[in-house]
Amino acid sequence: DAVDRAAADIFVSLAPQPHGSRRPFRVALAGGTTPRALYALLASSEYRHRVAWDQVAFFFGDERAVPPDHPDSNYRAANDALLRLLDISEKCVHRMKGEVPDLEAAAAAYERELQSAFEGARVPHFDLIFLGMGPDGHTASLFPGSSALAECKRLVVPVTDAPKPPLRRLTLTIPVLNAAKLVLFMATGADKAPALREVLKGTASPDQYPAKHVRPGPERLAWLVDEAAGGTL
């Protein structure tokens, strides 16, 4: 709960406020299970009135190659816990279309959507990117030893050999993660402790612990971890 509340408080402190000056706020949501309680908290009566939601544009850090109503869909998880409950307009939700058979085309389409949403910037600078981390140190759908880790031009790439099912996914690349104004990792549970120690203090190659590639710069990276994940740091 403390991790969720800290993440929600940071989000609210950065997002446009009701009756505040109008400004775009572009956030990329994390997949997996960790952020679901955060999404529910943001949609709760305690938090929902503290953000001018009509100025927030939602994107995704990665998506599985499944339809948007599939149980494995990161979009479905965010929609069920947050987007649908806040009645966010569809034009403010930029879903990665993982369901299309041609993932290369889907990646290229999302890249165009990013460039259009970020006024043609070569690399989008998200206001905030939420990320999770797997027990192997992967983040988004950037897995240990993946060729996607070396991608330094494309913003979005397909993954067809993910060790964490589903096999096929779409993911933002490291340059996009490192261009964010703030990256907020959430990692909880003892199963994340070894990778977290390696990422934050170890000497292993970032290619073996991809979360270690995420270095947006000073004051632009924060980890929210619980005792089980970070107690021995």
Give me the residues that bind ligand 6PG (CB under 6 A), please.
30-34, 61-62, 74, 132-134, 138-141, 164
Shortest Å, Cβ 110 to ligand 6PG: 15
Shortest Å, Cβ 119 to ligand 6PG: 26
Q: Toward ligand 6PG, which CB reaches closer, 138 or 212?
A: 138
DSSP letters spanning the chain: -HHHHHHHHHHHHHSPPTTS----EEEEE--SSTTHHHHHHHTSTTTGGGS-GGGEEEEESEEESS-TTSTT-HHHHHIIIIITTTT--GGGB----TTSS-HHHHHHHHHHHHHHHTTT-SS---SEEEE---TTS-BTTB-TT-GGGG--S-SEEEES--SSSSS-EEEE-HHHHTT-S-EEEEE-SGGGHHHHHHHHH--S-TTTSGGGG----TTSEEEEE-HHHHTT-
Shortest Å, Cβ 74 to ligand 6PG: 5
**Beta pairing, strands 169-172 & 62-64:** antiparallel
Shortest Å, Cβ 52 to ligand 6PG: 27
Shortest Å, Cβ 205 to ligand 6PG: 19
The answer to whether 104 touches 112, Cβ cutoff 8 Å, is no
Q: Which residues, in sequence order, are bridge partners of residue 29?
A: 60
Closest residue to ligand 6PG: CB criterion: 132
Q: Toward ligand 6PG, which CB reaches closer, 16 or 136?
A: 136
Q: Toward ligand 6PG, which CB reaches closer, 79 or 139?
A: 139
Q: Toward ligand 6PG, which CB reaches closer, 36 or 50?
A: 36
Shortest Å, Cβ 222 to ligand 6PG: 16
Q: Toward ligand 6PG, which CB reaches closer, 16 or 99?
A: 99
Q: Toward ligand 6PG, which CB reaches closer, 16 or 32?
A: 32
